[in-house]
Structure 1
Amino acid sequence: MKQAGLFDAGGTRILLDDVSGKITLTPDLIDAQTAARWFRALHDGIVWKSGRRVMYEREVDVPRLRAHFRTDDPALPDVLQQALGRVRAAFGAPFDSIGLNLYRDQHDSVAPHNDKLADIIRGQPIVLLSLGATRTMTIRGKQPPRHVLRVDLDAGSALLMSWETQLHYDHAILKQRAPIGPRISLAFRVREAGKTGDGS
């Protein structure tokens, strides 16, 4: 794992760039005022859905709220249209799917996982745009020596993970002890037609 910690000409931090893929962090893709406005609009205006899943042989609540939009949906909220335009322009991918996750407080989380590559167009990146409170993403190698990155995702920041990284790394937002406010994650993907999904 090559952890350069370098910055490109646009202020993007290169966290990983080797044969296992590429991960970058753009700290201020969206300015603070716009990020706060988008957060309020989505927090109050989206119909958030809870869910259930089987874990350790029993059914439990999914520890966050979720929503999903195709980008060609006539009901796509204006805030998501704006965010889509900024992310497409910044990263040059034809994103057609936006998965939303609302982490209500420090108790909400997403377990270590990788995106289901059968649902994503091969070679296309995944971009996570963060709004609201800062949460730390843990990115861990699947094979020894299991290198670990811990990345603070501030409001307005965008994390790019190349398609290849999903083969070699899991990522997670873990529960934490200290109280923290809500965070919304927008996950931009290029999906196979008809596929849906959430994000990190």
Structure 2
Amino acid sequence: METLFSLDPIHLDLPDATFIYYPNFLNQEKADLYFEKLLQETPWQQDDITIFGKKIAQPRLTALYGNLGKPYSYSGITMHPIAWSPLVWLLKEEVETIAQHSFTSVLLNLYRNEKDSNGWHADNEKELGQDPIIASLSLGETRKFQIKHTTNKNIKCDILLEHGSLLLMKEGAQVHYKHQLPKATQPKNTRINLTFRTVF
């Protein structure tokens, strides 16, 4: 099978955790094709989330693929996965090759414009285990991704997640850090993010 990725990793200089960024995980042709297919074929939904006891419309659209019978809950939402599509399964296998880790589900996020965002959080829900490994694949518009240490406010990092890139958040990343994709001040086109995870 033709390889989809280019191995040129950047290790982020952050203590207590391992973050590895592959800016060219997918080549331009593949990234363009997969972006369009996922945009058109994914059954996107918009749920209400609970923040500080208040329900608001989630500022992005989502979809969950995965092994059936493995629901995923966050911010007062419980999502039940739909069966893997051939394309999403292909991407899962390629991501697993790089991550050296098996994933059971993927949460897709659709950021429609600069107003869509994802606030500070760690992917540390109990069904993900004690020290989750998350693989984040970006397609479409480049957006700023911010990382900060949970106890040392001086340790932080901003990274631009590019079209076709992969960010691996490995050991310690969800224990010692939080991350967010903030609203942008300049107009932004559509971005799709796939976050692969293991649900126990």
TM exceeding 0.5? yes
Equivalences for residues 83-162 of structure 1 within 5 A:
83-162=91-170
Paired with 1:147 and 1:176, the residues of 2 have a C-alpha distance of: 22
Q: CA deviation at 1:76?
A: 1.6
Q: Percent identity?
A: 26
Matched, 1:46 2:42: yes
SS in 1 for 2:113: coil
The answer (yes or no) to whether the contact 2:14–2:155 under 8 Å persists in 1 is no
TM-score, normalised to structure 1, is 0.85
Partner of 1:4: none
CA drift of 1:163 comes to 3.7
Which residue in the other structure is 1:178 paired with? 186
Question: Which of 1, 8, 12 is matched with 1:15 structurally?
Answer: 12
CA distances 1:19-76 after superposition (whole Å, capped 9, x unpaired)? x110110111111110111111111111101011233543211000000011568842
Task: Answer whether contact 1:12 1:25 (CA < 8 A) is retained.
Answer: yes
Structure 2 stretches lacking a partner, 5+ long = 1-6, 69-80
Conserved in 1, the CA contact under 8 Å of 2:117 and 2:182?
A: yes
SS for the counterpart of 1:130 is strand
Aligned to 2:51: 55
Verify: 1:69 aligned to 2:69, yes or no: no
**Secondary structure at 2:18's aligned position in 1?**
strand
Alpha-carbon distance change, 100 to 74 in structure 1, aligned in 2, over 3 angstroms: closer
Distance 1:53 1:125 in 2: 24
Shift of 1:85: 1.5
TM-score norm. by structure 2 comes to 0.85
78 and 173 in structure 1: CA distance in 2 versus 1, 3 angstrom threshold:
same
Partner of 1:172, secondary structure, is: strand
Whole-angstrom distance in 2 between the partners of 1:100 and 1:146: 31
Question: Aligned residue pairs: how many?
Answer: 182
d(CA) in 1 for partners of 2:172 and 2:179? 13
